[in-house]
A and B are shown apart, each in its own frame.
Chain A
């Protein structure tokens, strides 16, 4: 049973130099207590894609498609109804915990604010709940920490506060936009552990936006690889890592260092070129210009997402079939 079902989502952003199609017909779904990772380079539309689900995208952006949650299309709901869904049913965690907290309010108070907005609780109940939440995300001396101001906490602690704020009202979907990018590697691991733990305890689904294949391998159940606003490959974590079918996915994976491989074989390779900025949906493969195996077919028609040999769904006319380790 899917909690969140995104169908054919497109986001068009007007800019001074013309329109930018940030998301182009993106479809995916998230199952009950599933961790779905959306992976891609900077500028591929992954953040805009999730922010637009609840009307948080850029101003004046034109969002089309369907976002089905609890039997309703969120894109057609009124702003106030959407506001109620935010935080209560679907919560966000932002990238930089350094700036995502109000510097003038004690952190516990900030979590209380969310509770005051969505839940009918007395002040004492809210306080108790905050301590409970802080303990849940592994903040030591929770009651005391709740009175601290953001600048008195480390980055990892602040991200924990952000997480506790996001899960305060027991959302069914948690959207984490690069939750560990701004943190140390060691803290990163701890935060990912907390997210996994929360999924197990609270049974909520998590949509994780990242550009880090390591993070994906760590916690995701399923992956959607995005390129220039489109999903180009989708599948279970095992399949995508073992037998990536899209040349771009393959490129991403071979750009990650793997410990233990011999130096000659482990040479890291980048992908030549950069992500194109798309103005309108083109009837071609958007990766063709950077792809070694592109031909006429690639440039004259948009490849549909189809089952590939390795068990993933891939939008490519010439998918890889070999295992990636064999290269």
Chain B
């Protein structure tokens, strides 16, 4: 508490749960699943981001002496058909997946949040935006991403864009709903009555109160994007070989599935770990933001 002087500064009514972004985050870490998810996510993401320093070999370096060799002291996770080190490739693959995943979510939020704000605040604009969002939602997300990636051409950036397009409607809907809720609250009415401009009200009063919800949406969207990236690369629509990507590695592992299990298992585990960790943490965040016990 910052207020230390006695007397008039008693907490008026104990708020059951704070909905500030930081408080929600802390509460999410208090649940075992949330903590586990957070720790795994941090470890895996860090491993991916530090791939250039952690990986024992260059991911594209071939070792023709040891093609398709199982896990050993030299190659901890084995090698593929060209003798490339699996450990290094998995680390770089995580790196690529996380970067594409994050980029697509950030992109989707950058487009979706302003649209949602405007849609929730100005009923006339809302008609147009909501119609567009409905149209977009009519297409299954992954089909949309595949189609877009095919049109844009295979590259990491295009994969991120294709995945972002599919994620935008989720952000628009969510933020629009939050704005509709917040707009009816007294402090927004009183900000309007005090003559504040719409821009100021949206940025200073409404958006900050929507951040915790936004945080949850972001943490839920990340695993989707990571899976989506793996899928696009698997189909040859995402990152281009020889750059390692978890999806590409899985695609390559298909033909050796009976002889070289390690080719499919380790990239697969990496994908599972990433998505599971983000999902666990995202769920914990959502629980921490649960309206039960929360003042509406």
Q: How far is the CA of A289 from the CA of B196 in the complex (A)?
A: 44
Contact present for B186 and A94 (CB under 8 Å):
yes
B contact residues around A141 at 8 Å (CB): 5
Q: How far is the CA of A56 from the CA of B194 in the complex (A)?
A: 11
Interface size on A, residues (CB 8 A): 43
A158 within 8 A of B: yes
Contact present for A147 and B193 (CB under 8 Å):
no
Contact present for A114 and B194 (CB under 8 Å):
yes
- Of residues 88 through 128 on chain A, the ones whose CB sits less than 8 Å from some CB of chain B are 88, 91-92, 94, 96, 98-105, 113-114, 117-118
Q: How far is the CA of A303 from the CA of B10 in the complex (A)?
A: 52
| Interface bits B1-28 vs A (CB < 8 Å: 1, else 0) | 1111101111111010011100000000
| Interface bits B246-272 vs A (CB < 8 Å: 1, else 0) | 000000000000000000000000000
Contact present for B193 and A92 (CB under 8 Å):
yes
B contact residues around A148 at 8 Å (CB): 2-3, 9
Q: Which of B7, B11, B15, B192: most chain A Cβ within 10 A?
A: B192
A contact residues around B190 at 8 Å (CB): 92, 94, 100-101, 162, 165
A154 within 8 A of B: yes
**Given A92-B193, A99-B185, A113 and B3 contact (CB-CB distance below 8 Å):** no
Contact among B9, B191, B204, B209 with A153 in the assembled complex (CB-CB below 8 Å): B9
Shortest B123–chain A CB gap in Å is: 8
A contact residues around B193 at 8 Å (CB): 54, 56, 86-87, 91-92, 94
Q: Which of B7, B13, B195, B204: most chain A Cβ within 10 A?
A: B195
B contact residues around A92 at 8 Å (CB): 190, 193-194
A155 within 8 A of B: yes
A166 within 8 A of B: yes
Contact present for B5 and A154 (CB under 8 Å):
no
| Interface bits B64-94 vs A (CB < 8 Å: 1, else 0) | 0000000000000000000000000000000
B32 within 8 A of A: no
Shortest A46–chain B CB gap in Å is: 16
Contact present for A56 and B2 (CB under 8 Å):
no
Q: Which of B3, B15, B190: most chain A Cβ within 10 A?
A: B190
Contact among A99, A114, A145, A156 with B186 in the assembled complex (CB-CB below 8 Å): A99
Known: A94-B190, A99-B185, A99-B186; 18 extra A-B contacts, CB below 8 A, are A54-B193, A56-B193, A83-B196, A92-B194, A94-B186, A96-B186, A100-B190, A101-B187, A102-B187, A104-B20, A113-B194, A113-B200, A113-B204, A114-B196, A117-B195, A154-B12, A165-B190, A166-B194
Chain A residues within 8 Å of B, Cβ to Cβ: 54, 56, 59, 83-88, 91-92, 94, 96, 98-105, 113-114, 117-118, 139-141, 144-145, 147-148, 151-158, 162, 165-166
